[in-house]
Chains A and B, each alone.
Chain A
Amino acid sequence: MRKIDIALGVVGTAFSLAGLVYVVPNWIVSLGYIGIGMSPSFFPNFTLTLTLGLSVLLVVSSLAGRGKSEHVRIFNQGERVRFILSLALILGSLLWLYFLGFIITGVLCTAAAMVLLGARRPVSIALISLLAPLILWSVFSLLLNMTLPQGLLFS
């Protein structure tokens, strides 16, 4: 975990420095009250300074840690491919939801997720991916009268 901790510390340091130097001065609106504790920037600066201190301490303590630095592998080849497919599914589901609405997204998403998780029987994939969104839609939209997306193409 040493390498991961060092990387986390570096990311935390960069993130908090970017926040202190650029984000807080540019993206916080203040009414101009003066005094400690009054400004909306006070707590963001407090949090970012604390994060900076902890991140630097994490890097230092990890570098000073005893023992050999281990080889770290976050993904193996298969995991990387499946992670990319998961990201594609996220993006796909957002686009489908926006353009095609809940039911079609539900069918496509369930089927894709089942295949990703190793389901191979077409009948069960078809059956579950059709039934699950239809049941959910019936419960939320018909029974509870909640609004689910209709999709840009159908609205």
Chain B
Amino acid sequence: MSFVNHCRASSPNPSAGVRPHLGARVGRSGVLVLAMVLVLASASCAAITTAPARTYGTFVDRAVQTATSASSAVATAQLAAKAGAEGKGTGAYLSVLIGKAEDSLGAVTTTFESILPPDRRSDRLREELAELLSLAGDDVSAARIAIRRGERRQLPDLSYALGRHAEALTKFADEHK
């Protein structure tokens, strides 16, 4: 039997064709409900991510989230700088890796800075975290430039500095949890 014929051999099995349809009652309403749930799920995720901070407690939560995400990005950049310093990754790979870490750090920084602090205490917290983010951002950028230029000599120092920034951000998050 040729393959074409094999595939065409899909006519209903006579002995099975008379069996009742198990899902005859399943209709369009099921699909609509599923679609609504999916929309609700996506909307709830988006709403929670962009909701404003109305109280000090909420602002602290957002600051902790920001510090945790930033620490992750900075630690990734530190590992990229370490790999670059030890000559372990290709320039192309490390460039993309650290570029993504920089983008991620930039995104969380921008999002945090766009949140209006609700009171004076929040102002101080905002300043503290903004400084940590700024220092880390400068060194991530410096490491990206060094990797792209192939300047390996700078990378051990930058790797060390990035490790310290990641630790500082983690400490900030832990202290305010």
A, B assembled together: no
Write the residues of chain B forming the contact surface with A, with a CB cutoff of 8 angstroms: none
Write the residues of chain A forming the contact surface with B, with a CB cutoff of 8 angstroms: none
